[in-house]
Structure 1
Amino acid sequence: MSIFKYLFLIFLPFTVFTACNEDPVNGGEEEVSEEPNEENFNYVAEGTYALNVIYFIPNDVSEIAESHRRISEILFDGQAFVNKYMKEYGFGNKTYNMMVDKAKNRVKIIYLNGEHPINYYPYEGGGSKILKEVDAYFEKHPTEKKSLHSLIITPVKDQDNRDVPYYGLGRNCFALDYSGLDVKYLGENSKRGSDASKFIGGILHELGHALNLPHNKQKVSDDSKSDRGTALMGSGNYTYGSTPTFLTEASCAILNNCQVISDYNGAYYEDVSLTLDSVQVAFEAGNIRLFGKIQSDQKVNHVCIYHDPAIDDADYDAVSWVAPILNNNTFEQTMPINELYLRNETPYVLRLQFTFENGNSLSKSFSYYFKNGEPVFEFGDRDYLPRNEWAINDYSSQEEQGEGDTGRAAHLIDNAPLTYWHSQWASGVVAKFPHFISIDMNQTHDVAGFSFLQRNGARKVKDIEIYTSNDNQNWQMQGKFKLSAINTVQHVALSETSGFRYFKVVFLSAHDGDQYASMAEIMCYSE
């Protein structure tokens, strides 16, 4: 069993000690006032749930002087920052709750002595090691854990040469403390000032992740606004306190349901489900117009709409909008494309993040791209052909054992998104690319394109070929196409509408690079 200590600063009651610490960055000495005895603080919760704040001290590192005052002031500054934008966007007089002593202007911080030296907790992998010790502390002291959200700060001797966790990890986040981490240096034209922006902004950025926030970028028009500027959950951790920095409406919509902010009376973060019954998208007069309808088992209050350039694996550059879920379970939003930074031949992921009242969220993703400066959409509702008379004509293989009650070719046309076809892999036989499925539509139809729903899991198909026939003997190739690794319906348009009875899809590769392939649904549309 690990041994943990709750570290108190112990001094004589009613006595103030002062010490002079040399400032290694700007030179000179600075007077430091030590804290009174920790037992003199009277912490009160600001809400039903409060943020856990932990100061984690490896066994070869010391607490940085005045950490209690400095971190308290940083977190109060962050509270005011969040509150400002929650009110501006109409979410109410809200911010994250903490355990505080308002009279002494202090936040409750759990000082926790780590079992190992600092090099045991590096950036890569150190977060999970620290969490193991934090969780053990809370298991031993359950009343100390005030919510499911924690900020964990590790002291370092040199902020420029650090190797400690500094990121979000689930509903926990990690940041660092050093001697110059103080709100009084924000905006100062010096290295000390720029470091304060970077590391205080960094604390609040990572705290955003612990409070459920993804990355996102400001709109183009925000760059020049004095009350906007740079989004905190983009690169705002470098501008906080020095140039205009703000929270986007999408960030506030998610924070509105967070356990340490919301006034929701039920159980937080219980499982939820959602079906996107309809989604329609169009480009008109310089605007992307989006409409959708949902079904859900718990209340959804907003959908956050992210336009994320698919040129890397990060989402720092995702520009966002918010739409409320209306009483008829619909949503709609108009989004000018001149608010997007990249529009020339750029692929995008459109991510819809539905925010539930209980704090959970679910996302649906779609792909589109810009061509000649205009967006091209390969998703959205189509006039699908009925499939009740369709039948599997032939297939290269199917999995009949290893996928349980699914895996058969017939599951491609059963109108059940949770079932899927899977290439054979069990019984010691692994079918290799290319795989194929051919389908008999039972009569000739005029088809404008095909729609595919990837399996919600592994083995997503990447490259395909499509062939068509009227006699099941002579086949005409309609083209080669590339599917995205997303689990929402995506469309493949033919070069021209074509009439046929049979079609064959040949699967050439998978996104994970293995020999296996899987697909949930195949459909055809007439226009």
Structure 2
Amino acid sequence: MPMRSLLMVLLPSFLCAATPQEEIAAQVPAARAILDGWQAKDPVKADRKLHIVYWTPADRHPAPRYRERLSAVMRDIRKFYGSEMERLGFGFRTFTLDEAADGLLKIHVVTGAEPYAHYDVPSGDEIRKECLPVLKKEGLNADEETIVLFCNMSNWDSEKRTISQNSPYYAYGTNRWGTAWQVDSPMLDLESLSQKEPRVLDGQYGNISVGRYNSIFIGGIAHELGHAFGYPHNVERADEGAAFGTALMGSGNRTYGENLRGEGKGSFLNLAHALQLASHPLFCGSIKGWDNKPSARPSGLSVRAEGKTIVLSGKVTGDEDAPVYAVQAYFDPEGGSDYDATSASAVPGQDGGFTLTGTDLVAGKGGELRLFFLQADGVASGFVGSTPYRYPYTVAADGTPEVKGIAEKLTKPD
């Protein structure tokens, strides 16, 4: 290995540069060195696939051309994830889809027990339970697979060009399993993503172009799929937004493909989430240690305010069979759920030491810092925003953070 490359791999995290591009250049090779080295020893390869389910109420037939449309949509999302991972330095890593012999995706069709009027947005668990027997017959245990569950719960009037939906639309998951509930409609079509005309009147988003409709709902699939992979919401930092566009797990579900219409930069996958995906079985092709428990042990954590930033340092160690390869931090201001949480990340050095810096703090608000320790086996200290490492902070009106709340709780997880 050339000396320059070796030095980059061994750079301690506190030397990571400020720009997004320099963060990527410093952190990704270091993370890959840990991940690739661990995977190379006694690998456990597995042919994991993302499975697609189409559920329709008892009184409805599937929407026209659902297989053709959803095959194109899911392949585009697969390409998006792969291209983003490649941009970030991980190579073209993405999930595998279950392909049928006719050139389209294999989609498991399930007819609900009740008519349309019985179901509503909170019906996700009921709908998922109705799908389990069908999946079981195909040899699939939904508690050990990642699935996208399209619900035929939209209402399209082709004459009035109005559309509304009353569907479950959320997701949750870990490194072992996940479910993303989505809505299908005849208007969900990749070919329309680049079009500024015609218009549709959506019950939630108003008078929008058919391209904008597909940005929202194809982007929504990509966004909820992220939750099914196990990561939370976040918003792009100012420097990330200037460089790349809108974070997929923030408002990026509404900007997906907008660049095709010349309406913006589109959506991107940020570094913290890409680091997590790098060890997900669907992206790394390995189930080595995937049923391990979280074993990361942080120590010597300290925090300080530097200007208008929060700097956190410490060490983290893991078991030999599950080294910690990255640390994620989310700085979440009060209000806005967690959609407005900015992220930072670091890769531990050989001694486990790391330093990360939280920027773009919201002046005049309190907030919560959430830490996640990522293990090479795909296990993390938490998924989709849930972690025992949670610390309160406040930010003065002039943007200066007060970190006393963090300092008092450090090394004392809930």
Whether these two folds match at TM > 0.5 is yes
Contact 1:52 1:147 in 2 (8 A): no
For 2:316, the aligned partner's letter is I
Asked whether the equivalents of residues 119 and 163 of structure 1 are also in contact (C-alpha less than 8 Å), the reply is no
Worse-superposed segment, 74-83 or 110-119:
110-119
Structure-2 residue corresponding to 1:302: 326
CA drift of 1:452 comes to: 6.0
Q: Report the more deviating stretch, 239-248 or 84-93.
A: 84-93
1:117 aligns with 2:115: yes
Structure with the bigger RCO (C-alpha within 8 Å, sep 6+) is 2
2:186 aligned to which of 157, 179, 200:
179
CA contact (8 A) 1:72 1:105 kept: no
Q: From the CA coordinates, give the structure whose radius of gyration is larger.
A: 1
Provide the identity percentage. 28
Which of 342, 348, 356 is equivalent to 2:375?
Answer: 356
Return the offset for 1:326.
2.4
Aligned residue number for residue 73 of structure 1: 72
| Residue in 2 that maps onto 1:330 | 353
Q: Deviations over 1:10-37 (max 9, x none)?
A: xxxxxxxxxxxxxxxxxxxxxxxxxxxx
Are residues 1:264 and 2:282 paired?
Answer: no
* 1:141 Cα offset (Å): 3.1
| Equivalent of 1:151 in 145, 148, 156 | 148
CA distance in 2, matches of 1:168, 1:143: 19
Change (3 A) 1:165 1:146: closer
Secondary structure of 2:68 counterpart: helix
Deviations 1:178-229 (A, max 9, x none): 111111111322421111111111111111111112111111123333xx11
Distance 2:410 2:355 in 1: 23
The question of 1:274 aligning with 2:273 is answered no
For residues 162-189 of structure 1, give each alpha carbon's deviation from its aligned partner in whole angstroms, at most 9, with x where no partner exists: 2221111441010011111111111322
Equivalent pair of 2:329/2:344 in contact (CA under 8 Å): yes
Query: Which is richer in strand?
Result: 1
CA spacing shift, 1:331–1:154, aligned 2, 3 Å: same
Query: How many correspondences in the alignment?
Result: 334
| Residue identity matched to 1:181 | L
Partners of 1:174 and 1:143 lie apart in 2 by 17
Give a deviation string over 1:485-512, Cα, whole Å, max 9, x none.
Answer: xx3xxxxxxxxxxxxxxxxxxxxxxxxx
What residue identity is the alignment partner of 1:214?
Answer: P
Name whichever structure is richer in helix by fraction.
Answer: 2
In the aligned structure 1, how far is the partner of 2:409 from the partner of 2:276?
Answer: 31
Return the match for 2:218 from 188, 200, 212: 200
Rounded Cα–Cα distance in structure 2 between residues aligned with 1:157 and 1:380:
45
**Which residue, 375, 387, 390 being the options, matches 1:365?**
390
> In structure 1, what is the equivalent of residue 96 of structure 2?
97
Aligned partners of 1:263, 1:105: CA distance in 2, in Å?
A: 23
Amino acid at match of 1:345: G
Corresponding residue to 1:233 among 249, 254, 278 = 249
Aligned equivalent of 2:136: 139
Q: What SS does the corresponding residue of 2:90 show, helix, strand or coil?
A: coil
Q: 1:130 to 1:104 in 2, by over 3 A?
A: same
For 1:134 and 1:269, how far apart are their aligned partners in 2? 25
Task: Verify the 8 A CA contact 2:154 2:183 in the aligned structure 1.
Answer: no
Measured after TM superposition, the shift of residue 72 of structure 1 is 0.9
1:62 deviation in Å? Answer: 1.1
Q: Return closer, same or farther for 1:316/1:145 CA change in 2, 3 Å cut-off.
A: closer
Which residue number corresponds to residue 315 of structure 1? Answer: 338
Q: List per-residue Cα deviations over 1:266-303 (Å, max 9, x = no partner).
A: 14243223332121222335543321112333322111
What is the letter of the counterpart of residue 391 of structure 2?
Answer: F
Deviations along 1:318-348, whole A, 9 cap, x unmatched?
A: 111221122222221244x3x34x2x22212
Q: Which residue of 2 aligns with 1:388?
A: none
- Give CA deviations for 1:406-439 in whole Å, capped at 9, x if unaligned: xxxxxxxxxxxxxxxxxxxxxxxxxxxxxxxxxx
Query: 1:91 & 1:85 partners in 2: Cα distance?
Result: 9
User: Structure 1 residues 329 and 56, CA, compared in 2 at 3 Å: closer, same or farther?
Assistant: same
> Match of 2:256, as an amino acid?
Y
Q: CA RMSD in A?
A: 2.5
Letter in 2 for 1:296: G
1:413-471 deviations in Å (ceiling 9; x for gaps): xxxxxxxxxxxxxxxxxxxxxxxxxxxxxxxxxxxxxx468996xxxxxxxxxxxxxxx
Secondary structure at 1:100 match in 2: coil
Contact 1:147–1:260 (CA under 8 A) maintained in structure 2: no
Does structure 1 residue 284 correspond to structure 2 residue 306?
yes
CA distance in 2, matches of 1:380, 1:293: 16
| Consecutive aligned runs of 4 or more in structure 1 exceeding 4 Å deviation | 143-147, 451-456
- Measure, in 2, the Cα distance between the counterparts of 1:453 and 1:211: 28
DSSP 3-state at the match of 1:142: coil
8 Å CA contact 2:149–2:180 kept in 1: the answer is yes
Partner residue, 1:223? 241
- Report the more deviating stretch, 231-240 or 157-166: 157-166
Q: Is the 8 A contact 2:46 2:286 kept in 1?
A: no
Q: CA deviation at 1:147?
A: 5.1
Q: Do the aligned partners of residues 119 and 258 (structure 1) sit closer, same or farther apart at CA in structure 2, a change above 3 Å counting?
A: farther
What are the residue-to-residue correspondences of 1:431-442 with 2, within 5 Å?
none
Q: Deviations 1:115-145 (Å, cap 9, x if unpaired)? A: 2212333111x11011112222233332586
Aligned in 2, Cα 1:454/1:92: closer, same or farther, shift over 3 Å? closer
Unaligned stretches of 5+ residues in structure 2: 1-44, 157-162, 198-208, 259-263, 382-386
- For residues 136-158 of structure 1, the C-alpha deviation after alignment (integer angstroms, 9 at most, x for no partner) is 22333325869521100012342
In structure 2, the CA distance between the partners of 1:47 and 1:83, relative to structure 1 (3 Å rule), is farther
Tell me the amino acid that sits aligned with residue 306 of structure 1.
Y
CA drift of 1:161 comes to: 2.5
* 2:233–2:338 contact (8 Å) kept in structure 1: yes
Task: Give the structure-2-normalised TM-score.
Answer: 0.74
Q: Which one-letter code corresponds to 1:148 in the other structure? A: E
